[in-house]
Amino acid sequence: MGKKIVIACDKYKGSMSALQVCSIIKKAFLNVRRETEIILSPMADGGEGTVDTLVESLNGRYIEALVKGPSGKKIMAKFGLIDSGKTAVIEMSSASGLWLLKPNDRNPMLTTTYGTGQLIKKAIEMGVKKVIIGIGGSATNDGGMGAACAAGIKFFDKNENILEGCGKNLLSLCRIDASGIMDRIKETSVLVACDVDNPLYGKRGAAYVYAPQKGADENMVKLLDEGLKNLSGIIKRDLKKDISDLKGGGAAGGLGAGLSAFFGAGLFPGTDIIIQATNLEQKIKDADLIITGEGAMDNQTFYGKSAYGVAVLAKKYNIPVITINGSVNIDYNSIGKDKLSLFDGNFDIIQKDMNIEYAIKNGEKLLFSASSEIARFYFGILS
Protein backbone atom coordinates (compact mmCIF):
# COMPACT_ATOMS: atom_id res chain seq x y z
CA MET A 1 0.00 0.00 0.00
CA GLY A 2 1.37 3.40 -0.96
CA LYS A 3 2.32 5.99 1.64
CA LYS A 4 1.47 9.68 1.71
CA ILE A 5 4.30 12.08 2.49
CA VAL A 6 4.00 15.84 2.79
CA ILE A 7 7.18 17.81 2.15
CA ALA A 8 7.06 21.29 3.68
CA CYS A 9 10.60 22.70 3.70
CA ASP A 10 11.86 26.26 3.84
CA LYS A 11 14.58 27.60 1.56
CA TYR A 12 18.28 26.91 1.98
CA LYS A 13 19.40 30.52 1.99
CA GLY A 14 22.02 31.28 -0.63
CA SER A 15 21.60 27.88 -2.26
CA MET A 16 18.04 26.76 -3.12
CA SER A 17 14.51 28.13 -2.95
CA ALA A 18 11.91 26.36 -0.82
CA LEU A 19 10.28 24.91 -3.93
CA GLN A 20 13.62 23.59 -5.19
CA VAL A 21 14.36 21.93 -1.86
CA CYS A 22 10.94 20.26 -1.72
CA SER A 23 11.15 19.14 -5.35
CA ILE A 24 14.57 17.51 -4.93
CA ILE A 25 13.47 15.59 -1.84
CA LYS A 26 10.37 14.44 -3.72
CA LYS A 27 12.48 13.22 -6.64
CA ALA A 28 14.74 11.26 -4.29
CA PHE A 29 11.85 9.57 -2.48
CA LEU A 30 10.03 8.67 -5.69
CA ASN A 31 13.26 7.26 -7.06
CA VAL A 32 13.26 4.80 -4.17
CA ARG A 33 9.53 4.00 -4.17
CA ARG A 34 7.54 5.15 -7.17
CA GLU A 35 4.04 4.45 -5.79
CA THR A 36 4.40 6.99 -2.96
CA GLU A 37 1.95 9.91 -2.87
CA ILE A 38 3.93 13.06 -2.25
CA ILE A 39 2.43 16.48 -1.62
CA LEU A 40 4.67 19.55 -1.83
CA SER A 41 3.94 22.55 0.37
CA PRO A 42 6.98 24.89 0.35
CA MET A 43 7.33 26.96 3.52
CA ALA A 44 8.49 30.39 4.61
CA ASP A 45 8.43 32.31 7.88
CA GLY A 46 7.30 35.70 6.59
CA GLY A 47 10.81 36.96 5.95
CA GLU A 48 12.97 36.97 2.86
CA GLY A 49 11.69 34.61 0.20
CA THR A 50 8.07 34.58 1.37
CA VAL A 51 6.70 36.13 -1.81
CA ASP A 52 8.67 33.76 -4.04
CA THR A 53 7.64 30.73 -1.99
CA LEU A 54 3.93 31.49 -2.09
CA VAL A 55 3.86 32.61 -5.72
CA GLU A 56 5.82 29.58 -6.94
CA SER A 57 3.98 27.00 -4.86
CA LEU A 58 0.45 28.37 -5.32
CA ASN A 59 0.68 29.20 -9.05
CA GLY A 60 0.53 32.92 -8.40
CA ARG A 61 2.02 35.76 -10.39
CA TYR A 62 4.27 38.73 -9.81
CA ILE A 63 3.33 42.38 -10.14
CA GLU A 64 6.04 45.00 -10.62
CA ALA A 65 5.64 48.64 -9.65
CA LEU A 66 7.74 51.79 -9.78
CA VAL A 67 7.86 53.07 -6.20
CA LYS A 68 9.76 55.40 -3.93
CA GLY A 69 12.67 53.51 -2.37
CA PRO A 70 13.87 54.00 1.22
CA SER A 71 16.03 57.00 0.27
CA GLY A 72 13.33 58.57 -1.89
CA LYS A 73 14.77 57.48 -5.25
CA LYS A 74 12.47 55.66 -7.66
CA ILE A 75 13.03 51.90 -7.82
CA MET A 76 11.26 48.84 -9.24
CA ALA A 77 9.69 46.63 -6.59
CA LYS A 78 7.43 43.61 -6.80
CA PHE A 79 4.75 41.75 -4.90
CA GLY A 80 2.83 38.55 -5.51
CA LEU A 81 -0.80 37.70 -6.23
CA ILE A 82 -2.16 34.32 -5.14
CA ASP A 83 -5.57 32.76 -4.57
CA SER A 84 -6.81 33.78 -8.03
CA GLY A 85 -5.79 37.38 -7.38
CA LYS A 86 -7.71 37.66 -4.11
CA THR A 87 -4.59 37.82 -1.92
CA ALA A 88 -1.48 39.97 -2.28
CA VAL A 89 1.83 38.96 -0.71
CA ILE A 90 4.29 41.76 -0.02
CA GLU A 91 7.80 41.87 1.42
CA MET A 92 8.40 45.40 2.68
CA SER A 93 12.12 44.92 2.02
CA SER A 94 11.35 44.91 -1.72
CA ALA A 95 10.49 48.61 -1.51
CA SER A 96 11.99 49.76 1.80
CA GLY A 97 14.73 47.26 2.57
CA LEU A 98 18.14 47.87 4.05
CA TRP A 99 19.69 45.88 1.21
CA LEU A 100 18.66 48.65 -1.21
CA LEU A 101 21.10 51.12 0.36
CA LYS A 102 24.88 51.27 0.44
CA PRO A 103 26.29 51.45 4.00
CA ASN A 104 27.12 55.15 3.64
CA ASP A 105 23.56 55.95 2.55
CA ARG A 106 21.85 54.40 5.57
CA ASN A 107 20.14 56.99 7.76
CA PRO A 108 16.89 56.10 9.59
CA MET A 109 16.20 59.80 10.16
CA LEU A 110 15.65 60.15 6.40
CA THR A 111 14.50 56.76 5.12
CA THR A 112 10.83 56.11 4.44
CA THR A 113 8.30 53.28 4.10
CA TYR A 114 6.43 55.24 1.43
CA GLY A 115 7.24 52.64 -1.24
CA THR A 116 5.79 49.86 0.90
CA GLY A 117 2.60 51.90 1.18
CA GLN A 118 2.55 52.26 -2.60
CA LEU A 119 2.70 48.47 -3.00
CA ILE A 120 -0.17 48.04 -0.54
CA LYS A 121 -2.18 50.70 -2.34
CA LYS A 122 -1.59 49.17 -5.77
CA ALA A 123 -2.59 45.73 -4.52
CA ILE A 124 -5.80 47.06 -3.01
CA GLU A 125 -6.59 49.00 -6.19
CA MET A 126 -6.31 45.70 -8.06
CA GLY A 127 -9.17 44.37 -5.95
CA VAL A 128 -7.47 42.02 -3.47
CA LYS A 129 -9.42 41.05 -0.38
CA LYS A 130 -6.39 40.20 1.74
CA VAL A 131 -2.84 41.55 2.01
CA ILE A 132 -0.06 39.55 3.68
CA ILE A 133 3.00 41.66 4.54
CA GLY A 134 6.39 40.41 5.70
CA ILE A 135 8.16 43.27 7.44
CA GLY A 136 11.70 42.02 7.99
CA GLY A 137 14.87 43.69 6.71
CA SER A 138 13.79 47.32 6.82
CA ALA A 139 15.98 50.38 6.33
CA THR A 140 13.45 52.57 8.09
CA ASN A 141 12.38 53.97 11.44
CA ASP A 142 9.37 56.11 10.52
CA GLY A 143 6.66 54.27 12.46
CA GLY A 144 4.82 53.58 9.22
CA MET A 145 4.29 57.27 8.48
CA GLY A 146 5.60 56.86 4.96
CA ALA A 147 3.31 53.94 4.16
CA ALA A 148 0.36 55.86 5.59
CA CYS A 149 1.17 58.90 3.44
CA ALA A 150 1.05 56.72 0.33
CA ALA A 151 -2.43 55.57 1.34
CA GLY A 152 -3.76 59.11 1.73
CA ILE A 153 -3.23 59.92 5.41
CA LYS A 154 -1.86 63.39 6.17
CA PHE A 155 0.50 64.38 8.96
CA PHE A 156 0.91 67.99 10.17
CA ASP A 157 3.37 69.94 12.31
CA LYS A 158 2.43 72.72 14.75
CA ASN A 159 2.22 75.24 11.88
CA GLU A 160 -0.10 72.97 9.89
CA ASN A 161 2.60 72.17 7.35
CA ILE A 162 2.26 68.70 5.81
CA LEU A 163 5.04 66.35 6.90
CA GLU A 164 6.63 63.65 4.80
CA GLY A 165 6.90 60.24 6.38
CA CYS A 166 10.42 59.77 7.73
CA GLY A 167 12.16 59.37 11.07
CA LYS A 168 13.18 62.99 11.58
CA ASN A 169 9.55 64.17 11.30
CA LEU A 170 8.24 61.97 14.10
CA LEU A 171 9.06 64.61 16.73
CA SER A 172 7.52 67.40 14.67
CA LEU A 173 4.20 65.63 14.34
CA CYS A 174 1.26 67.44 15.96
CA ARG A 175 -1.82 66.21 14.10
CA ILE A 176 -3.03 63.31 11.94
CA ASP A 177 -5.82 63.51 9.40
CA ALA A 178 -6.92 60.05 8.25
CA SER A 179 -10.02 61.21 6.38
CA GLY A 180 -8.29 60.83 3.02
CA ILE A 181 -7.30 57.18 3.38
CA MET A 182 -8.47 55.06 0.45
CA ASP A 183 -11.87 53.51 1.18
CA ARG A 184 -10.97 49.98 0.11
CA ILE A 185 -8.41 49.65 2.92
CA LYS A 186 -11.30 49.43 5.37
CA GLU A 187 -12.66 46.47 3.42
CA THR A 188 -9.32 44.65 3.13
CA SER A 189 -7.88 42.19 5.62
CA VAL A 190 -4.24 43.06 6.33
CA LEU A 191 -2.04 40.44 8.01
CA VAL A 192 1.48 41.27 9.13
CA ALA A 193 4.07 38.51 9.46
CA CYS A 194 5.96 39.60 12.55
CA ASP A 195 8.25 37.36 14.59
CA VAL A 196 9.50 39.83 17.19
CA ASP A 197 7.66 41.15 20.23
CA ASN A 198 9.46 44.48 20.64
CA PRO A 199 7.20 47.42 21.54
CA LEU A 200 7.19 50.64 19.53
CA TYR A 201 9.42 52.68 21.85
CA GLY A 202 11.55 52.36 24.99
CA LYS A 203 14.74 50.43 25.64
CA ARG A 204 13.34 47.39 23.81
CA GLY A 205 11.70 49.49 21.14
CA ALA A 206 12.37 50.01 17.46
CA ALA A 207 14.97 52.76 17.81
CA TYR A 208 17.15 51.36 20.60
CA VAL A 209 17.19 47.78 19.34
CA TYR A 210 17.21 48.12 15.56
CA ALA A 211 18.10 51.66 14.47
CA PRO A 212 21.88 51.34 15.04
CA GLN A 213 22.15 48.65 12.35
CA LYS A 214 20.33 51.02 10.00
CA GLY A 215 22.90 53.79 10.41
CA ALA A 216 21.76 55.60 13.56
CA ASP A 217 24.24 57.04 16.05
CA GLU A 218 23.51 57.43 19.76
CA ASN A 219 21.86 60.83 19.39
CA MET A 220 19.71 59.65 16.47
CA VAL A 221 18.52 56.68 18.51
CA LYS A 222 17.37 58.98 21.30
CA LEU A 223 15.55 61.33 18.91
CA LEU A 224 13.91 58.48 17.03
CA ASP A 225 12.70 56.87 20.23
CA GLU A 226 11.21 60.16 21.42
CA GLY A 227 9.62 60.58 18.01
CA LEU A 228 7.99 57.15 18.09
CA LYS A 229 6.62 57.90 21.55
CA ASN A 230 5.20 61.15 20.18
CA LEU A 231 3.66 59.32 17.22
CA SER A 232 2.01 56.86 19.60
CA GLY A 233 0.48 59.68 21.62
CA ILE A 234 -0.88 61.49 18.56
CA ILE A 235 -2.36 58.26 17.19
CA LYS A 236 -4.09 57.60 20.51
CA ARG A 237 -5.55 61.11 20.55
CA ASP A 238 -6.51 61.50 16.90
CA LEU A 239 -7.25 57.93 15.82
CA LYS A 240 -8.37 56.52 19.17
CA LYS A 241 -5.98 53.58 18.91
CA ASP A 242 -3.43 52.62 21.55
CA ILE A 243 -0.29 51.08 20.03
CA SER A 244 2.06 51.91 22.90
CA ASP A 245 2.35 48.32 24.17
CA LEU A 246 1.54 46.43 20.99
CA LYS A 247 3.65 43.27 20.77
CA GLY A 248 5.69 43.52 17.58
CA GLY A 249 4.87 47.21 17.20
CA GLY A 250 8.58 47.99 17.07
CA ALA A 251 9.25 45.67 14.14
CA ALA A 252 10.65 47.27 10.98
CA GLY A 253 11.25 50.62 12.65
CA GLY A 254 7.72 50.80 14.00
CA LEU A 255 6.04 49.72 10.78
CA GLY A 256 4.30 46.97 12.74
CA ALA A 257 2.58 49.55 14.93
CA GLY A 258 1.91 51.83 11.95
CA LEU A 259 0.22 49.09 9.93
CA SER A 260 -1.95 48.29 12.93
CA ALA A 261 -2.92 51.92 13.52
CA PHE A 262 -3.31 53.13 9.93
CA PHE A 263 -4.37 49.96 8.06
CA GLY A 264 -6.16 48.01 10.79
CA ALA A 265 -3.62 45.21 10.44
CA GLY A 266 -3.23 42.23 12.72
CA LEU A 267 0.27 41.09 13.70
CA PHE A 268 0.88 37.34 13.70
CA PRO A 269 3.84 34.90 13.70
CA GLY A 270 5.00 34.56 10.11
CA THR A 271 4.89 30.77 10.07
CA ASP A 272 1.26 30.76 11.21
CA ILE A 273 0.30 33.03 8.32
CA ILE A 274 2.08 30.84 5.77
CA ILE A 275 0.52 27.66 7.18
CA GLN A 276 -2.89 29.25 6.77
CA ALA A 277 -2.16 30.64 3.29
CA THR A 278 -0.96 27.27 1.99
CA ASN A 279 -3.77 25.29 3.66
CA LEU A 280 -1.10 23.03 5.17
CA GLU A 281 -3.29 21.59 7.92
CA GLN A 282 -5.71 20.11 5.41
CA LYS A 283 -2.83 18.62 3.42
CA ILE A 284 -1.26 16.76 6.34
CA LYS A 285 -4.31 15.31 8.11
CA ASP A 286 -3.98 11.86 6.52
CA ALA A 287 -0.23 11.86 5.89
CA ASP A 288 2.10 9.06 7.02
CA LEU A 289 5.18 11.27 7.25
CA ILE A 290 6.00 14.98 7.26
CA ILE A 291 9.36 16.21 5.99
CA THR A 292 10.40 19.75 6.80
CA GLY A 293 13.70 21.58 7.21
CA GLU A 294 15.70 24.69 6.45
CA GLY A 295 19.16 25.86 5.50
CA ALA A 296 20.57 25.86 9.03
CA MET A 297 18.63 24.19 11.82
CA ASP A 298 19.75 25.48 15.22
CA ASN A 299 18.27 26.52 18.56
CA GLN A 300 16.44 29.43 16.90
CA THR A 301 14.37 26.90 14.96
CA PHE A 302 12.48 26.09 18.15
CA TYR A 303 11.30 29.67 18.60
CA GLY A 304 8.90 30.17 15.73
CA LYS A 305 10.76 29.28 12.53
CA SER A 306 8.87 27.39 9.86
CA ALA A 307 10.17 23.88 10.63
CA TYR A 308 9.01 24.22 14.22
CA GLY A 309 5.58 25.45 13.15
CA VAL A 310 5.19 22.51 10.78
CA ALA A 311 6.20 20.07 13.53
CA VAL A 312 3.72 21.53 16.03
CA LEU A 313 0.93 21.14 13.48
CA ALA A 314 1.98 17.58 12.59
CA LYS A 315 2.00 16.46 16.20
CA LYS A 316 -1.59 17.64 16.53
CA TYR A 317 -2.38 14.65 14.31
CA ASN A 318 0.35 12.36 15.73
CA ILE A 319 2.20 12.27 12.43
CA PRO A 320 5.97 11.59 12.55
CA VAL A 321 8.19 14.49 11.47
CA ILE A 322 11.75 14.47 10.20
CA THR A 323 13.84 17.37 9.00
CA ILE A 324 16.32 17.48 6.14
CA ASN A 325 18.51 20.56 6.44
CA GLY A 326 21.57 22.18 5.01
CA SER A 327 23.17 21.81 8.44
CA VAL A 328 22.11 20.92 11.99
CA ASN A 329 23.69 22.81 14.87
CA ILE A 330 21.42 22.18 17.86
CA ASP A 331 22.55 22.40 21.46
CA TYR A 332 20.32 19.58 22.64
CA ASN A 333 21.09 20.27 26.31
CA SER A 334 19.51 23.72 26.15
CA ILE A 335 16.30 22.73 24.35
CA GLY A 336 13.40 21.36 26.37
CA LYS A 337 12.34 17.75 25.84
CA ASP A 338 8.84 18.88 24.92
CA LYS A 339 10.22 20.79 21.95
CA LEU A 340 12.78 18.18 20.94
CA SER A 341 10.09 15.48 20.96
CA LEU A 342 8.28 17.24 18.12
CA PHE A 343 10.93 15.94 15.72
CA ASP A 344 11.57 12.25 15.08
CA GLY A 345 14.92 12.83 13.39
CA ASN A 346 17.03 15.73 12.16
CA PHE A 347 19.34 15.20 9.18
CA ASP A 348 21.67 17.40 7.16
CA ILE A 349 23.38 17.24 3.80
CA ILE A 350 26.90 18.17 4.94
CA GLN A 351 29.32 15.29 4.96
CA LYS A 352 32.42 14.93 7.11
CA ASP A 353 35.17 17.56 6.61
CA MET A 354 33.03 19.50 4.12
CA ASN A 355 33.15 23.29 4.24
CA ILE A 356 30.00 25.38 3.99
CA GLU A 357 31.00 27.02 0.70
CA TYR A 358 31.26 23.63 -1.00
CA ALA A 359 27.93 22.54 0.49
CA ILE A 360 26.14 25.65 -0.81
CA LYS A 361 27.66 25.30 -4.28
CA ASN A 362 26.77 21.61 -4.50
CA GLY A 363 23.54 21.77 -2.52
CA GLU A 364 21.26 20.12 -5.06
CA LYS A 365 23.46 17.06 -5.49
CA LEU A 366 24.08 16.71 -1.75
CA LEU A 367 20.39 17.11 -0.92
CA PHE A 368 19.37 14.45 -3.44
CA SER A 369 22.00 12.05 -2.07
CA ALA A 370 21.02 12.58 1.57
CA SER A 371 17.31 12.34 0.79
CA SER A 372 17.83 9.12 -1.12
CA GLU A 373 19.58 7.54 1.87
CA ILE A 374 16.80 8.66 4.19
CA ALA A 375 14.17 7.32 1.79
CA ARG A 376 15.87 3.93 1.62
CA PHE A 377 15.98 3.80 5.41
CA TYR A 378 12.36 4.88 5.78
CA PHE A 379 10.92 2.49 3.22
CA GLY A 380 13.21 -0.27 4.43
CA ILE A 381 11.63 -0.11 7.86
CA LEU A 382 8.17 -0.36 6.30
CA SER A 383 9.05 -3.42 4.19
Which residues touch 218 (CB under 8 Å, ≥6 apart)?
none
Q: What is the pLDDT of residue 1?
A: 54
Q: What is the pLDDT of residue 200?
A: 98
Averaged pLDDT of the chain: 95
pLDDT in tens, 313-346: 999 999 999 999 999 999 989 999 999 999 999 9
Q: What is the pLDDT of residue 115?
A: 98
pLDDT in tens, 48-97: 889 999 999 899 999 999 999 999 999 999 999 999 999 999 999 999 99
Alpha helices in 270-355 (DSSP H): 270-277, 280-284, 306-316, 337-340
Domains defined for the chain, CATH in brackets? 4-43+281-382 (3.40.50.10350), 50-270 (3.90.1510.10)
Residue 364 confidence (pLDDT) above 70: yes
Q: Which of 128-132, 213-217, 359-363 has the lowest mean pLDDT?
A: 359-363
Q: What is the pLDDT of residue 382?
A: 61
Specify the pTM: 0.90
Q: What is the pLDDT of residue 278?
A: 93
Residue 55 exposed, middle or buried by CB count within 10 Å (0-12, 13-18, 19+): buried
pLDDT in tens, 235-291: 999 999 999 999 999 999 999 999 999 999 999 999 999 999 999 999 999 999 999
Residue 383 confidence (pLDDT) above 60: no
Q: What is the pLDDT of residue 18?
A: 94
Which residues touch 92 (CB under 8 Å, ≥6 apart)?
113, 116, 133, 134, 135, 136, 137, 138, 252, 255
CB atoms within 10 A of CB 286: 11
Q: In what order do the strands lie in the sheet with 37-40?
A: 37-40, 4-9, 289-293, 321-325, 345-348
